[in-house]
Amino acid sequence: MSPSAAATPLPPREEAAWDEAAGAGPIVAVAAHDGHEVRPSLLPWLAITPEERRREEDPGTGAWARLAPTHLVARRSRFEVDLNRAPEKAVYRLPRDAWGLRVWRDELPEAEIEASLAIHTRFHARLREILDRKIAEEGGFVLLDIHSYNHRRSGADEPPADPAENPEIDLGTESIDRARWGALVDRFAADLRAAPGRAALDVRENVKFQGGHLPRSTNARAGGRGVAIAVELRKSYMDEWSGAIDPARAARLGDALRATFRGLEESLRARLGPAAGSRGR
């Protein structure tokens, strides 16, 4: 498989809650928090501003996810439904669910909550379908769950958080069976660090994030045929207060991610055996 192989767009998903494409090879990428849209029926209930929403969303992650031939990119805001939380926590109801932010003017009607949770159900069912197809066709999969995180929460004019506690890329691997997938994770991290640039990227594991519901549920279900890695990129590629993205920095991170695809596939094949790559071909 070539990392740059063209993906085949699929029909828009119901309610346009996410975009997806299917391509060759075992690599799948998801950007569950890239979306900013909110369905019209929720707009009168919102207390949070678009700027506050965008600050907690993950701008740019959709572009990185689309580097993988097979990908799913959320169009809906995490404030409508958080696809990286378990169903019972996927709709933020109280400020404590959303970093102290007041999301809604009043308690949401149950019908609106159910409509949001229906998106969660459909998205995860679709992701399972795609991963099962990868197992059938490729023998297995590697799922990259791509996010970004804030490091200037003190304010727009305040210094960024201590880099010692905020790596450029934090891999959430707590739910991964290291005995089975440790070599794949280690090569992935090494390939990210080796990306071209002025200095090696600071890539560590489980410093701030250990991986949310999406990678945890995927790893629990994969049965040794696939692995999901949470990839949290620090928002030093953008101004998290204005929302402006630095194209050069974002491009470097994208290049770093794309350069790992060959190693991920080789590591997967090595783990699953040579016959895995010939299934369905």
Angle between helices 213-221 and 110-138 (to 10 degrees): 40
Say what the pLDDT of residue 154 is: 86
List the one residue out of 212, 207, 214, 135 whose CA is nearest residue 171.
207
Take residue 160 and report the two structure tokens written for it. 């960024």
Say what the pLDDT of residue 10 is: 38
pTM of the model: 0.91
* Percent of the chain's residues with pLDDT above 90: 86
**Positive or negative: CA dihedral 81, 254, 170, 262:** positive
| pLDDT at 249 exceeding the cut of 50 | yes
Contacts of 227 (CB under 8 A, 6+ apart): 141, 142, 143, 176, 177, 180, 181, 184, 185, 219, 268
pLDDT tens per residue across span 15-45: 589 999 999 999 999 999 999 999 999 999 9
Say what the pLDDT of residue 279 is: 56
Mean pLDDT of 189-217: 93
The residue whose two tokens read 């997806």 is 20
Q: How confident is the model at residue 196 (pLDDT cuts 50, 70, 90)?
A: confident
Distances (CA, A) of 129 to 11, 39, 113: 15, 25, 25
Say what the pLDDT of residue 12 is: 41
φ/ψ of 33, rounded to 5, equals -120, 15
Q: How confident is the model at residue 72 (pLDDT cuts 50, 70, 90)?
A: very high
Across 155-182, b (16+ Cβ under 10 Å) vs e yields: eeeeeebeeeebbbbbbbbebbeeeebe
Mean pLDDT of the chain, nearest integer: 92
List the one residue out of 114, 40, 22 whose CA is nearest residue 76.
40
- CA–CA separation, 35 and 55 (whole Å): 12
| pLDDT at 150 exceeding the cut of 60 | yes
Provide the pairing of β-strand 226-234 with 141-149.
parallel
Say what the pLDDT of residue 193 is: 95
pLDDT tens per residue across span 157-173: 898 999 999 999 999 99
Mean pLDDT of 131-142: 97
Say what the pLDDT of residue 6 is: 38
Cβ contact 17:82 at 8 Å: no
Say what the pLDDT of residue 92 is: 97
Q: How confident is the model at residue 5 (pLDDT cuts 50, 70, 90)?
A: very low
The greatest distance separating any two alpha carbons of the chain, rounded to the nearest whole angstrom, comes to 56
What CATH code is assigned to 8-278? 3.40.630.40
| pLDDT at 9 exceeding the cut of 50 | no
List the one residue out of 78, 31, 30 whose CA is nearest residue 52.
78
